[in-house]
Chain A
Amino acid sequence: MEVKEIWKERQKEIINDLDSLLKHIFVELPVSFRINTLKVDRDEMIKRLKSQGWKLKQVPFYKDGFILEEKKYAIGNTLEHFLGYIYKQEVASMIPPVVLNPKEDDIILDMAAAPGSKTTQIAQMMNNKGAIVANERYIQRMTSLRSNLQRLGVTNTIVTMMDGKWFKNLSIRFDKILLDAPCSGTGIIMKSPKTAKTWSVKTSEKMANLQKQLIASAINALKDDGVLVYSTCSLEPEEDEVVVDYAVKKFGMKVEKVKLTGFKTRKGITFWNNKELSKEVENCIRVYPQDNNTSGFFVARLVK
């Protein structure tokens, strides 16, 4: 499987280790998961899994996240998974809730929630307190969202089925919003190799148009001083820094520095397509597969 030349050229403008990226982009990721502390005690669960021979390594920036060091088990088919004690989740996908840093009395919107990995992580971080509106526009993605919320024992969530763009029209104002935006998915080619074939600049431009509408809606639905985390699994600047730059310039959002302990990240870029972006966009993070053996991700923390 090969990626398109134009994609390589574009990445070359951003990074100086393209060869390393190309080596990692089709490599299968290690299995990782969360211990669901809404149902079980973390330490007891570690003990239980270890007693069964699981070799675990903790995700450095999130205490309830673990990487399976030997790919010995299909963890989705274990008793622990059935019981809702663990949730299979890719390491990079654990970043946005950590950056959002939800508190127990927050009212939170997860604007594009299915299949619910991040929603359930947020609920867990809130100890099932506060409230989450988990929104999903498409009915075909609703089943996975609802079944994951159920299996993990989440009680603090309302599931809604609305176009994310509609939230700007409501009177509700949220303390925090996660917009894990629909994207071209060039950071997860290892999970969906057909993206390498189907991606084009036009795909990213089309996604960027939608992402700007969604981020505008999210900003409107956010309280003053509220926090918006914007993330994608795309490595394309049109869908990442350019969208954040739009939020800064059009809505006066501030971009806070994102720091993750023990995990290599790269700064957001501030120049793309002959255009200078706001300096503070460099506070965003780019996660590259070759740095931590994860999928590629982009995360920004914005304050209104």
Chain B
Amino acid sequence: MKVLNKKEIKEIVEKLNYTYNSKVDFSEFVVLTTGKENKIWLASRKIFDINLSELKINSIGLYFGRDDRGKIRLSVEGAQIVGKTAKKNICEIEDVWNFLRGFDVTPTKMTGCEDGNYVLVKYKNDVLGVAKLQDGILKNVLPKARKITSLTKYES
């Protein structure tokens, strides 16, 4: 586990700004990375008032995303945070149920999208996560545990 310094946090914020034209503010968090994949975690500051060396820690804070060959692959929650201010690399979909089941889907609207990038996937006003845009198709990267196999449609 590594606690990132201001410079390292700034690099992440700039990367997110470059990809999504977003204004992400990490000032209320301690930003951490773990493991070979450089997983990024956001943790509330007060956590560090605790003597952590005494605890057998499994995880700290919220998994935000991870480094994928220089690009940040956001978690669903990371995407929701970035999505609040993002202005580009946003794909809107209609086929929400197939997306949640883990299938690749075709976007119905694209805002400032670059092929080969991770893009935010939106359904109406909800950010569902990210997908990799390849040849106009959203390649599904939802984690297995997050996929829904049986769906309750609520449309009347």
Contact = CB atoms under 8 A, between A and B. Distances in A.
A35 B29 CA distance: 24
Max chain B C-beta neighbours (<10 A), residue from A79, A153, A170: A79
Interface of B: 29, 42-44, 46-47, 49-52, 54-63, 75-77, 80, 96, 100, 123, 126, 128, 145-146, 148, 150-152, 154-156
Interface residues of A, number: 39
A17 B146 CA distance: 44
A77 B150 contact: yes
Contact of A53 (B55, B126, B154): B154
Nearest to B77: A153
A133 B150 CA distance: 33
Given A153-B77, A157-B61, A73 B152 contact: yes
Contacts of B75: 150
Interface stretch (A123-131, A209-217, A273-281): A123-131
A155 to B, nearest CB: 5
A73 B152 CA distance: 7
Contact of B58 (A131, A147, A161): A161
B47 A153 contact: no
Contacts of B44: 128-131, 155-156
A107 B46 contact: yes
Nearest to A139: B58
15 contacts: A52-B155, A74-B152, A78-B152, A79-B96, A128-B44, A131-B44, A131-B46, A150-B62, A151-B77, A155-B62, A156-B61, A159-B60, A160-B57, A170-B54, A172-B50
Interface of A: 39, 52-53, 73-75, 77-79, 82-84, 105, 107, 128-131, 133, 142-143, 146-147, 149-151, 153-162, 170-172
B80 A131 contact: no
A79 B126 contact: yes
Given A84-B77, A129-B44, A171 B58 contact: no
Contacts of B96: 79
B146 A146 contact: no
Contacts of A130: 44, 46
A201 B29 CA distance: 49
